[in-house]
Structures are given as C-alpha cells and as structure tokens.
Structure 1
Amino acid sequence: MTASDTTTAPHAVPVVVGLDVATAAVRVVCVDARGRVAAEGGADLPQPVRTPGGGREQDAGTWWPAAVSALRQATSRLPGRGAEVRAITVSATSGTFVLADSAGEPVCPGSMYDDRRAADLNAEAQLLGADRWKRLGLSVGPTAALGRVARLARLSRGPAPAADDGCDRLRSGDAGSFRVLHTPDLLGRHLTGAPVAADWSHALKTGYDPGAGEWPAEVLPALGVPDTWLPAVRAPGSEAGVVCRRAADETGLPEGCSVRLGMTDGCAGQIATGAVLPGRFVGVLGTTYVLKGVTRELVTDPWGAMYSHRHPDGWWLPGGASNTGGEALAGTPADRLAALDAAASARGPAACVHYPLRREGERYPFVSGAARGFRLGAPRDDVEGHRAALEGVAFLERLAVDHARALGIAVDAPLYTAGGGSRSALWNRVRATALDMPLRTVPRAETAFGAALIAAAGTLHASLADATDAMVEPGQVVEPVPAEREALQDSYGRFTAELRARGWLDRD
C-alpha cells in the first residue's frame, strides 16, 4: 500500500509519525493536522552499559527491533491500520552513534551521548578547529561524538586489546567501507532500505559545521578520521527517502510514506512547544533548567554558556542547560509538595535567598566550576524554605533571560514553559513575577510530538511555523503577581550580587 492509496478505513484522517529514541525506550506518536494524537506505541531498549575509562555503550542492533515494535503498536491502533500515515521523523539523543559496514550493520556497540572515553581526542579537536568553533560559538566537550569517532578510527587500525571490547568486526572488516550512523541515520536506512543523509542537528556534536555547511577539513584528517566515514548532511525536515516494502511489512507504515530528517531530542522538544519563530523562547523546568529559543542570525556567547543548533529554516537555536532546576525539590514526596505549594502561596515571598545548586559547578547561565549552592539568611520553617527554593530557580531563569538579552538576543513575551516544574501553578506565578513577563504553559512538550511536527512540515502543513500554529495547544498564560513584584526584584538583586561577590558571575 502506498501513501497515495485512498482505500483507508472510514474516518481515517491523514497523520504524521514522530519516533523518539531515548536512552532506554522508544516512543511513537501518530498526530493529525490539528495536533490530536491518534495512536501511540512504545518499546524498551536495554539499559546502556558502563565500560572502563568512562565508556557508555548500547547494543545498536536493538534500535531497529524496538522501533518496529513501537511502530507496529501505534499503526495497528489507527483506524486505517497505518495507511493514513503521510510522513515519519526520527529524533534521538544528541551525540549517540554507531559505526556500521556497507550493509548498514553495526561493527561495534553504539556509543552513547555521555561516553567520555575520547576526552583527550576531543581536547585535541578543540585546538585543531579553534577558529571554526569560535565562529560558531561552540566548544568541543569531553563527551562530544567527534572524538569518539576518532577513537574508533584508531581502534580500527590498532591491535586488539587484551580485554574483549566488542570491536572485533571493527578491526577485521574493511574500514574503508565503514560509515558513521547517528541513531536516526540507522533507523532511516532500515525505513528506506538505502543509505540516508544525516540532519545537521544530530551531526553537530560529530563536528559538522552548520554555518559553513561542511565537515571540518582541518580537524578530521588530523584526527585520523577517513572522510568516507562521514555522511552527507541536509536540513532537518528534508525528505530522506520513502518507506520501502520490507519496512512497511514490518512496521505497518504504508510503502512510499515520506521519511523526513529530524532533530536531536532537545531541539525536537523545543519545537513541540511552538517556539519556532525568532524571538520565541521556552524555559524547560525539568530536573535541570534549560532555556532555548530562536534568532535570525547566529549569536555567539563569549562566556561559553550558550551555543546554537541550526533551525530547519536556516535560523539559529541558541540555548543552554543549567545544573540547577527541579532537582532542588528532590526527596520531597509529591503529596508533601502540594501542601507546601499551598502554604507557600498563602505566605508570599521568602525573606531569605536560596541558590539550590545540589552539585559542584554551574554551566548556565554562567560558567563556574567553583559554584556551590548557598543561602542568604535562614528560612523560619519548611514552608519558607520551599518558597525560597522555588524563587532561587526562578532567579536563575531570570538571569538566563538577562544573559540572552545582554548578548543582543530578543526574548519576546510570553516565555513558553514546559517540563515537570511547569505543572506547579505557584512556581509558574513565581517565575512570571521574577521575570516580570507572562509565561505560556505548553501541555505536550515531548520529543516524539516535536518529531511529528517536523514530519508535518511540507506534508500536512506548508511550513514548520504553520504546523506548530495548527497543532500545538496554546496552553494557559500565567501573569506576574503585582503585589509580589517588588519583593522578588529585591531578592533577585541580592542573588546576583552574591554571585558577583563570590567571583562566579562577571560584573558586566
């Protein structure tokens, strides 16, 4: 059956599919042109394995079977048994990849996004491409995929170690025929039955330069990476191919259905909120706090707190992730949180100031390995302590927005918000008041939903902006509380003054 087949079941309407490959699970959503979820599916993946030297691996051979299972669940629940699917897009964790042979079969375990075994090679890559990374406002971190690809290139030429590292095929195969496949590249090959291009979002941490539209020629050869290993790269949302007969038989997708290039989980999550036009930003309050938005031009951050992916339409997606966020409330039972919220709401602003950093070092909106959590004043009871923690994260969000504006970035109102923390009505009011701008809550800011929106651009809708306008629920607008504005502004001033006094925040 093809995508153009009209013999679908009664009441079946066209849908697109978003497929999210997370660390330990695959999730699928089927969404119609109005944003209604028509069917869902899911499957587990094996937990990644820790290896000596900071490695983290997963059997890449499990990615496609799990995707098949999740897709089959979802398509079997559609009125047309999958015949109404017009397009599919895959999103995955940033920096996860596998090296595969000419047939697309993995020759080693999949290397996960947080694998640290190539930290030395990534440091070398940072020096080799210093001018390029500076232009892009990027740094090559210790877990970047770029160094991990170079590590595999060296393993392919070297003798086997004493311990079994699962790379026998890597050393025994024809290294010249190998290809780097990010998770969506591998699944795209299975879906289409042929090699597919990578998108510039998943390729970013492998070293692709989305500004110049090229792989870094001054870096990869010096690291020993064959240029034949690297995929062609195209814009997210581009058509990678169409579903082949074999994949259609396995998944329930219609043969000929469009396979569209996706974006990393963080970018897809941003798109799911509707923050896809210049000036729109979203604050995601999960375990940690993340601010992401859209600019027309690339804006680099001399402090290194923000960096940018490239937007599917050629704009830029600046953002940063804090070490602070919802984990400030870790250990407090959910029923206790509701009671504390109610009491803290009635109490009003805290007299003390709390920076609830639970680990060493901060990475956004300022960068300091010396940063530690602190309190200015002692809370009189648990209620005030709870309120001060909520306010501390709100102050960090305000600092993130101030930091973006200091770089010349327009952050328009309302600020979109998502994540588990945005389910707290009190926390949203505190955040809106600290920011002195309204928030707009987003009900379904999920990676799979964002992938579906990318699939809808050019299929169910003319553009990504049209897709998000039609398919993303508007949510509720939360206004600042005028009676609490002065107290929170005063506490925010104490918060930033203390960061400066401790030498963690630049005085300018």
Structure 2
Amino acid sequence: MEAWLGIDLGTQGVRALLVTRDGTVLGSGTAPLTGHRDGVRHEQDPGQWWDAVCAASRQATAGAVRVDGLAVCGTSGTVLLTDTTGRPTGPALMYDDGRAAEQGLRARAAGLAVQDTWALPKARWLAETYGPGRLTHQPDVITTRLVGRPVPTDSSHALKTAYDVERDAWPDILGLPDGSLPDVVRPGTRLGEVCTAAAEATGIPAGTPVIAGMTDGCAAQIASGALRDGSWNSVLGTTLVLKGASPTPVHDGTGVVYNHRAPDGGWLPGGASSVGAGVLTAAFSGADPAAMDARAAAYEPSGAVAYPLVSPGERFPFLAPDATALVLGEPAGAADLWAALLQGVAFTERLCLDYLHHLGAPLDGPLTFTGGGARSPYWNQLRADILGRPARVPEQPQPALGMAALAAYGTAADDSLATTAERMVHIRTVLEPSGTTRYAEPYTRLVDELETRGWLPAPVAAHARGRVEEDSRR
C-alpha cells in the first residue's frame, strides 16, 4: 500500500502522520518540545527537534514495510546557524523572537520589506552575535540528518529570509556574511533519500525519498485542500495564520501580506497575526476549554471587546511593533472574558479578510478552518457567525497531513498538488453563519480603537467599516 509520511515541527511538539493516497491515516506519532521564553526572547534547542522527530516517526511508521516519501514543515521564520556539516552551532531563534528590531530597521532602510520577527533580521542578529555560519531554517536541520549531508532549503521557508520567489534568487542586499546563504529549491523537489544511520534512529526505511517541504502555515493550507484560486485556509493555533490561493501575487508594500510560491507554480498569499489561542492558555491556565465554551455561549456578544495578542507587536492585518493586547469594557466574569477572547480572535480574523479584500485578493472560494482552535465546535461556529460566511472543517486539520500530501505530489507528480491534496483531505463539518449582524457593533468598535491608537491605517479601517455597512444591507 502506498503511503507518505508528513512531519510537522510545531512550537510545542513534533507530529508525524503516515497517510495513504486516499487520506487514510495508517500511523501517527507525537513527541513534546520545550523552549525558553524571556520577554522578547524565544529560543529552542535544535537538538530537541531531532530527538522528537525520531520518537514521533518511530510511532507513526511502526510496522510499516515501506514509506513512499516524506516531507517536513517547520515554524515560519525560525532560524539558526550551523557548521559546514549542518550541525547547529547555537540556539534557534523561534518565529516570534523579537531581539532583531535594530536589524529589521536597517533591512527596511535598505529597501527590504521585512518584519522584525522575520528570519532575515534574526539571521543578521545571529551573525553579529555569534559570528559567521551557515544560515539554516528549522526543517533543514531534520532533512540534513535524514539524508546524511547538507541539503538545499526550500523557497517557502526562505521567503522570510527575503528570498525573491518571483526571480528564484537571493537579493544582493541581504547584509549577511559571504558563504552563509544556502542553496534554494522549490517545495516538492527531491532532496535525497533517508540514509542508513537516520533509518536506524527514526524507523523510517532507508532509501525513502526526502521531499523539500513548506512552512507550517502552507502545510496546514495543503491539509485543508484550499489550493484552488480564491479559496482560503485560516489556521488557528497559538497564533492565527491565513493562507489563500491566487493566480497572481497579492502585492502589499508594507510586507504585511506576503506570497509563497506553490510547488506547481501558483501563488499562496497570506499573513500571520500575533493573536490566537495562546491567550486562552495564558489567561486560563488549567481550564477545561469545552466547559468554558459552554459558559461563554451566554455572552454573544460579550460585554467586552478584546484584541487578544499572544505577544507584544502585531504583524497582520497591520504592522505595529508597539501594539499590545487590549480589552475594552469590563467583562462580567470569567465566562464573559473567555467569550471576549474567543470573539476577539474572530474579529481579528474578519479584519484580516477585510484587509485582503482591500488589497484586491480573490476571496470568492471556500474558507476552511484548521489548527488546534478548530477542535472547538463552539469556536468554529462563532467564527463563521462573526465572519458572515460558510466554513469547512477537515477531519485531519494538521500540517503533518499537508506534508504527506506534498510528499505524494513530489514523488508521484502525476497530478497537480491541488488534486493530490483534495484526494487526501476529507471534510468533517460544514458551518453556516447566523446572527452576523449582532457582532457588527463590537467589531466596528474594535476597528475604531485600533485606528485611534495609530496601529490600523485609516484607509484600511474605512474599508472594514464599509464592509460592515454592505453586510447590513444584504
């Protein structure tokens, strides 16, 4: 039986899935990861990644005679330095590490549309702090160990290091030491095969093709099947990521929205916010989410309006490094605060879609929910209600499934990636919105507040309010 392995390097753990062509999961495995946070600092030990991959892969492939291919995704913007053999020489700076603000400012002054937490400013910070080394993105550590030698990075992970995906080339103005940049290939490219040493460590059969992957957000998009023009996937995990499909790039001079290049040549525009489900863990440690959801249903809408940033600074739907979490009004209690946070994430999601509409992005296709937040039926319906549009929830809303689909595309290559993914993806639930108008006032109040604070540009705020008025006339 043909089967492909998808490996997802998440923030809190590694997930591996062994999946057949029709989407049947033959095996799965997980292993935890830990990190170190201190203010704007967020690091992980790259050695943990390999240990966790070995554990998760052994679980997923237990009893498997063959694996037809594998691909690996990682958190977008996570970088480190390695030596010439691909071994890490220091810690990995995670996707939201904020120590490279000065380097980000200098990069923008040089004409590069990057954000402070993107990989390029952090790569400069690493080079200036630790000295020269080989710039390496998170999945490259794993694919190097799997193949047994350094391999090229993929253009998806290289995007936030300012790789030019339209020209397929590194710009000349990156400001990094000579010889530090890796070779780059398009996702879906064959990198090599699993070597004997890696096979013994991971349980993955030696000779298994290793396929260049994509970022976790793109992986989740593939796992949602949202690859036809105009379709979108909203990934709600610790933070919120929106990814869509477009026949042409969606240009945004601020760099808030960026465009990945699809493995088969199309464009995958999107952006990553700093709001997300991580606020629930921070505010309600140890709470039962299902029980809190049931209590929150009494507050629609909540008596408070929240902009629930997980960490300081916002990246999408606007760029505001100084933005902080806010709550307007006084929640009636814990259940009302829970409701305000759930609704605040959905309001941000709506503002992201309004901003994409403002930029002229195609939005006429289906919307799919994936990520850990999609495990909550209540939150899914609430998001559909606030967005005012139908939404779909797949059975396996996991980036690891997306990597299995990409591995199948990269090894078989007899179908488009969209067709390959649609064959593997099974939709569990279709949500229809109701009561959208009751959220118009709190959403507008949040838009007004974000504009007043100088975070949300006035034209974007006006466009969002105009969309609310259009909804009221329907």
TM-score by length of 1: 0.78
Q: Which amino acid aligns with 1:247?
A: A
Q: In the alignment, is the contact (CA less than 8 A) between 1:86 and 1:459 conserved in 2?
A: yes
Q: Which amino acid aligns with 1:373?
A: L
Q: In the alignment, is the contact (CA less than 8 A) between 2:220 and 2:370 conserved in 1?
A: no
Q: In the alignment, is the contact (CA less than 8 A) between 1:353 and 1:495 conserved in 2?
A: no
Q: Which amino acid aligns with 1:450?
A: G
Matching of residues 153-232 of structure 1 within 5 Å: 153-154=127-128, 179-220=134-175, 223=176, 225-226=177-178, 228-232=179-183
| Pick aligned residue for 1:96 from 78, 94, 98 | 78
Q: In the alignment, is the contact (CA less than 8 A) between 2:370 and 2:398 conserved in 1?
A: no
Mind listing any 5+ residue stretches in structure 2 that lack a counterpart?
A: 460-474
How many Å apart are 1:33 and its aligned residue? 0.9
Q: Which amino acid aligns with 1:300?
A: H
- Is 1:470 matched with 2:423? yes
Q: Which amino acid aligns with 2:149?
A: A
Listed one character per residue, the Cα deviations across residues 413-462 of structure 1 (whole Å, up to 9, x for unaligned) are 43211234333333333322322211111232222222111111143562
Q: Which amino acid aligns with 1:18?
A: G
Q: In the alignment, is the contact (CA less than 8 A) between 1:357 and 1:372 conserved in 2?
A: yes
Aligned to 1:169: none
| Pick aligned residue for 2:348 from 367, 378, 396 | 396
Give the Cα separation in 2 of the matches to 1:230 and 1:393.
Answer: 37
Listed one character per residue, the Cα deviations across residues 86-122 of structure 1 (whole Å, up to 9, x for unaligned) are 0011112223344333333344444444455544334
Aligned to 2:368: 416
Q: Which amino acid aligns with 1:196?
A: V
Aligned to 2:470: none
Q: Secondary structure at the match of 1:201?
A: helix
1:55–1:500 Cα change, 3 Å: closer
Listed one character per residue, the Cα deviations across residues 154-213 of structure 1 (whole Å, up to 9, x for unaligned) are 5676xxxxxxxxxxxxxxxxx7xx633323223223322333211011222333221221
- Is 1:16 matched with 2:4? yes
Larger radius of gyration: 1
Q: Which amino acid aligns with 1:301?
A: D
Q: Secondary structure at the match of 2:428?
A: coil
| Pick aligned residue for 2:204 from 239, 247, 253 | 253
Aligned to 2:401: 449
Identity rate, percent:
41
Q: Secondary structure at the match of 2:214?
A: coil
Give the Cα separation in 2 of the matches to 1:34 and 1:198.
Answer: 29
1:246–1:373 Cα change, 3 Å: closer
Aligned to 1:146: 120
**Root-mean-square deviation (CA), in Å?**
3.3
1:327–1:356 Cα change, 3 Å: farther
Listed one character per residue, the Cα deviations across residues 259-310 of structure 1 (whole Å, up to 9, x for unaligned) are 1000122221222222222211122233433322122211122454322332
Give the Cα separation in 2 of the matches to 1:477 and 1:325.
Answer: 22
Q: In the alignment, is the contact (CA less than 8 A) between 1:413 and 1:439 conserved in 2?
A: no
Aligned to 1:242: 193
Matching of residues 276-291 of structure 1 within 5 Å: 276-291=227-242
Q: In the alignment, is the contact (CA less than 8 A) between 2:275 and 2:307 conserved in 1?
A: yes
Listed one character per residue, the Cα deviations across residues 356-380 of structure 1 (whole Å, up to 9, x for unaligned) are 436655443234435652436x666
Give the Cα separation in 2 of the matches to 1:423 and 1:152.
Answer: 37
Give the Cα separation in 2 of the matches to 1:54 and 1:288.
Answer: 16
| Pick aligned residue for 1:297 from 248, 258, 267 | 248
Matching of residues 333-412 of structure 1 within 5 Å: 338=290, 341-342=293-294, 345=297, 349-350=300-301, 352=303, 354-357=305-308, 362-368=314-320, 369=322, 373-375=326-328, 387-412=339-364
Q: Which amino acid aligns with 2:223?
A: A
Number of aligned residue pairs: 455
- Is 1:75 matched with 2:57? no
- Is 1:316 matched with 2:316? no
How many Å apart are 1:257 and its aligned residue? 2.1
Aligned to 1:162: none
Q: In the alignment, is the contact (CA less than 8 A) between 1:91 and 1:264 conserved in 2?
A: yes
Give the Cα separation in 2 of the matches to 1:401 and 1:68.
Answer: 38
Q: Which amino acid aligns with 1:103?
A: T
Give the Cα separation in 2 of the matches to 1:73 and 1:274.
Answer: 26
1:356–1:334 Cα change, 3 Å: farther
Q: Secondary structure at the match of 1:86?
A: coil
1:233–1:430 Cα change, 3 Å: same
How many Å apart are 1:24 and its aligned residue? 5.4
Aligned to 1:7: none
Q: Which amino acid aligns with 2:5?
A: V
Q: In the alignment, is the contact (CA less than 8 A) between 1:270 and 1:445 conserved in 2?
A: no
Give the Cα separation in 2 of the matches to 1:505 and 1:367.
Answer: 8
1:343–1:312 Cα change, 3 Å: same
